Structures are given as structure tokens and as C-alpha cells.
């Protein structure tokens, strides 16, 4: 099994597409949850090339994360257990200086929601990060915008979803 790593990430709502979006690399992700608890979640993710089972623990800025690559057959065997706990999003990778902004544009019942995430090597880097103007309100510590919450409960109130 892969060792647990610490994921340090900030998350922001986005109202308008950033400059250069159409020329940025992107992929469609389908994601489903096998289990969601108060301090941990187990999810499946398929980006069209690689299928992964991920266990995340904790909440907020710093979370534990273990990822295990699955075969397509293993993924498809588990996928039916995620019915009612899924989401689909288009992820754009936007390089910006030392960071990569990962812009997720959601589809299906979450259509219209855009969230950008930035991962950091340290909590100090995360704290020092100055978001660009196109980033909206920060939702790093808002549990309603965790992917597991979005997959299980849908969009937060309409007025809350605007960056």
C-alpha cells in the first residue's frame, strides 16, 4: 500500500473563467464515494487513463491522503457501490509561477459550480499564497464544498455558490 502523505491545499470559488483557460491541459474526472465519515472518506476516481482508490483523513488546510492505483476491472467492480454518491468535473491545469491552479468545472447536478484548488509543499507556503484576482471566496474550511459533500448533498444554497 502507498504511504500516507500530507495534502496541503487551499480551495476557492470561481465566478468567471480565468485567462488562457481554453489552451490549458484538461481532463474529465468521474469520482464516486465508497464511504464518508466525520473524519475520513474513501473514494474512487477515474480520469480516463488511471483509476485510483483514495483514502482521505482530516479536514481543512491539511489532510492525510493515501492513493492506490486500481486496474480498470477493479475500478468497474467497485463503481456500482457509489450510486448516489458521484460527481463529474472537468479539471483544467493552469500553471502559475511556482504553483498549478487546478480549476474544476462541475457537470450534471453541480453544473455551474467552479472551484480552484492549489496544493502546497508546506503550510507556510499555503499561508503566504496570494490568490490572483480571478479567484473568488475561499472555501478551504467550508465542509459544504468538499467533493464528498458535493457528491452526497449537492450544491449549497444558490447564493452561497457564487464566488
What DSSP assignment string belongs to 20-56?
TGGGS-EEEEEEEEEEE-SSEEEEEEE-SS-EEEEEE
pLDDT of residue 72: 96
Average pLDDT over the chain reads 91
Task: Out of 30-34, 68-72, 125-129, 155-159, pick the least confident.
Answer: 155-159
pLDDT of residue 158: 61
Enzyme catalytic residues: 33
Phi then psi for residue 7, to 5 deg, are -95, 120
pLDDT of residue 22: 81
Strands (E), the chain: 5-13, 26-36, 40-46, 51-57, 62-70, 86-96, 99-106, 114-120
Segment 14-34, tens digit of pLDDT: 988 888 888 888 899 999 999
Q: What is the domain partition of the chain in residue ranges? A: 5-161
- CATH number, domain 5-161, options 2.40.320.10, 1.10.3720.10, 3.40.50.300, 2.30.30.230: 2.40.320.10
Residue 163 pLDDT > 70, yes or no? no
Segment 87-142, tens digit of pLDDT: 999 999 998 889 999 999 999 999 999 999 999 999 999 999 999 999 999 999 99
Amino acid at each position: 500500500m502507498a504511504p500516507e502523505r500530507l495534502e496541503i491545499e487551499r480551495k476557492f470559488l470561481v465566478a468567471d473563467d480565468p485567462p488562457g483557460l481554453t489552451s490549458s491541459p484538461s481532463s474529465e474526472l468521474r469520482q464516486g464515494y465508497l464511504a464518508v465519515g466525520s473524519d475520513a472518506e474513501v473514494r474512487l476516481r477515474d480520469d480516463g487513463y488511471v483509476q485510483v482508490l483514495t483514502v482521505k483523513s482530516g479536514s481543512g488546510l491539511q489532510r492525510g491522503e493515501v492513493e492506490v492505483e486500481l486496474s480498470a476491472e477493479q475500478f468497474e467492480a467497485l463503481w456500482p457501490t457509489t450510486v448516489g454518491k458521484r460527481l463529474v468535473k472537468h479539471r483544467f491545469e493552469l500553471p502559475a509561477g511556482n504553483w498549478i491552479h487546478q480549476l474544476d468545472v462541475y457537470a450534471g447536478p453541480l453544473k455551474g459550480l467552479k472551484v480552484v484548488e492549489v496544493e502546497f509543499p508546506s503550510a507556510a507556503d499555503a499561508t503566504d499564497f496570494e490568490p490572483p484576482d480571478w479567484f473568488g471566496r475561499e472555501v478551504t474550511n467550508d465542509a459544504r464544498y468538499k467533493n464528498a459533500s458535493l457528491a452526497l448533498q449537492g450544491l449549497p444554497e444558490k447564493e452561497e455558490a457564487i464566488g
